[in-house]
């Protein structure tokens, strides 16, 4: 059996594709991923759109057509027109998954401008505008889990707008996002019609922690390399079980609400010394999503070995964190720094995307 399909069929984990491009939609690539590999959703971010648009192809013709119809269109409006057409196209392809799953899957994500990550009201306004403009029930609006993004997430859920809470790196980030979702459900008139995922970034944690461990250089430090990210995710999954277990979530479930699934993001392997599917094989569990870039998806299809890894030896995750603390590695400082860097990186990608569109316009 296809290892990707096993994730859903045997372990209850959905695979979403971490890429979007017009040729993927028009050429039937996404439809094949859904049919052949069991892909159940799509995520996007400014970096993905930047690379796709810089690649030219169908986007060059689309830019020319848009500007011919409206030569005064701003570069931001040009980006939105391109992105929204792609998002709608992906949502329409995934609509069969959305309907068959009763709204549990079949989503495509579109991010508010990363320049709004520290602006609650600006995030709310843009999220609502994008929700109305795209006009697809299987859209998720991506909102960064910054301190300013948390109240926006709560209010969007309360208004029945699907949210992908992104750029989470720590248990504190997860607690804040889960709390916002639960409070939003309480205020939501129709909680059965809203969905959300909590996007927990993985590989970047190992990249930064490993650098600190390499600098320490002792045997006790080096043995912990490549373990922090998985331990971090396992502890978040355990907390998910506590917050969304049958008893804890019962009152919301009676109103038809669905749990907010953890989504594992940044799952490509950055260190060539590590197995290329480590952040797939070690993060498999029910009621989760793993969003995979193309290379990781193909690698797992080829040689992935599924097992229910998230529930294995939860005490080992605590031991990893205890070991890091004993070595003086401040995981809280690391994860806060990662979120700041993530916001900055996405904003830079957004600016590069606009610069690419300016070049295409010229």
- pLDDT one-digit tens code per residue, 218-257: 999 999 999 999 999 999 999 999 999 989 999 999 999 9
According to the model, what pLDDT value does residue 248 have?
93
Give me the helices (H) in the chain, please.
3-11, 22-26, 29-37, 46-54, 58-69, 75-93, 95-100, 120-134, 149-158, 171-187, 203-216, 219-222, 228-244, 250-254, 278-281, 294-303, 314-326, 331-361
Whole-angstrom Cα distance, residue 235 to residue 231? 6
Record the tokens describing residue 93, joined without a space.
Answer: 């392809």
Which entry of 5, 128, 142, 270 is annotated as an active-site residue? 142
Closest CA to 40 of 295, 287, 259, 303: 287
According to the model, what pLDDT value does residue 359 have?
83
Query: Which strand (E) or helix (H) includes residue 200?
Result: strand 196-201
DSSP 117: T
142 is catalytic: yes
Give pLDDT < 50 ranges for the chain.
Answer: none
According to the model, what pLDDT value does residue 56 have?
62
According to the model, what pLDDT value does residue 260 have?
98
Whole-angstrom Cα distance, residue 298 to residue 219? 35
Whole-angstrom Cα distance, residue 246 to residue 238? 14
Whole-angstrom Cα distance, residue 230 to residue 183? 28
Record the tokens describing residue 108, joined without a space.
Answer: 């495509």
* Region 3-45+103-349: CATH code: 3.20.20.70
pTM of the model: 0.96
According to the model, what pLDDT value does residue 281 have?
98
Whole-angstrom Cα distance, residue 54 to residue 60? 9
């Amino acid at each position: 059996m296809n290892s990707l399909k096993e994730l859903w069929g045997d372990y209850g984990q959905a695979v979403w594709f971490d890429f979007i491009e017009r040729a993927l939609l028009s050429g039937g690539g996404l439809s094949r991923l859904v049919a052949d590999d069991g892909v159940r959703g799509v995520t996007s971010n400014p970096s993905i759109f930047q690379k796709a648009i810089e690649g030219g192809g169908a986007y060059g013709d689309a830019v020319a057509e848009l500007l011919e119809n409206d030569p005064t269109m701003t570069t931001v409006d040009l980006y939105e027109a391109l992105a929204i057409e792609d998002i709608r196209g992906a949502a329409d392809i995934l609509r069969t998954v959305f309907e068959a799953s009763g709204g549990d899957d079949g989503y495509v994500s579109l991010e508010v401008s990363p320049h709004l990550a520290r602006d609650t009201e600006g995030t709310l306004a843009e999220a609502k505008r994008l929700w109305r403009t795209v006009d697809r029930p299987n859209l998720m609006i991506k909102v960064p889990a910054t301190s300013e993004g948390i109240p926006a997430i709560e209010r969007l859920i309360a208004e029945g707008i699907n949210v992908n809470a992104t750029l989470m790196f720590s248990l504190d980030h997860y607690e804040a996002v889960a709390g916002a979702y639960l409070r939003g459900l309480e205020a939501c008139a129709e909680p059965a019609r809203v969905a959300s995922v909590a996007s927990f970034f993985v590989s970047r944690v190992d990249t930064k922690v490993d650098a600190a461990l390499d600098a320490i250089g002792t045997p006790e430090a080096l043995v912990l390399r490549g373990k922090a990210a998985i331990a971090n995710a396992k502890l978040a999954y355990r907390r998910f079980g506590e917050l969304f277990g049958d008893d804890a979530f019962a009152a919301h479930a009676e109103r038809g609400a669905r749990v907010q699934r953890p989504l594992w993001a940044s799952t490509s392997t950055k260190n060539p010394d590590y197995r290329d599917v480590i952040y797939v094989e070690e993060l498999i569990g029910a009621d989760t999503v793993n969003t995979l870039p193309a290379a990781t998806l193909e690698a797992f299809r080829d040689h992935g070995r599924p097992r229910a890894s998230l529930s294995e030896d939860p005490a080992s995750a605590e031991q990893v964190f205890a070991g890091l603390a004993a070595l003086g590695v401040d995981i809280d400082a690391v994860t806060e720094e990662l979120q700041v860097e993530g916001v900055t990186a996405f904003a830079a990608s957004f600016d590069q995307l606009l610069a690419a569109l300016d070049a295409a316009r010229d």
